[in-house]
Amino acid sequence: MWIEDWAPSAACRQAQPDALFVRGAEQNKAKLVCGGCPVRTECLAEALDNQIEWGVWGGMTERERRALLRRRPGASWRSVLEAAREEQAVPASH
């Protein structure tokens, strides 16, 4: 199920905002906050669909997001990520 108003449920909502807008090795620490976040996918889709250039969003750095955007220019990332989530939720039939 896709959560439209995802920000109140984000794992980072209690973190200092500046902690997610860091450079270099500090980004790995920032990405740890996203690890168990229940709305990580929604956050990532927001950053990709709006081409947000700064910070860690959905567990991905700016560089990682740019790489995805280059691979699928013009994609609706919400649609892509929502479909991927649904595929993972469906148990494989034997």
Residue 44 has pLDDT above 90, yes or no: yes
Segments making up each domain of the chain, as ranges: 16-85
Which residues does the annotation place in the binding site for [4Fe-4S] cluster? 12, 34, 37, 43
> What band does 91 get if pLDDT is binned at 50, 70 and 90?
confident
Which residues does the annotation place in the binding site? 12, 34, 37, 43
**Closest by Cα among 18, 86, 1 to 55:** 18
pTM of the full predicted structure?
0.86
Q: For residue range 10-35, list pLDDT tens digits in order.
A: 999 988 878 899 998 899 999 999 98
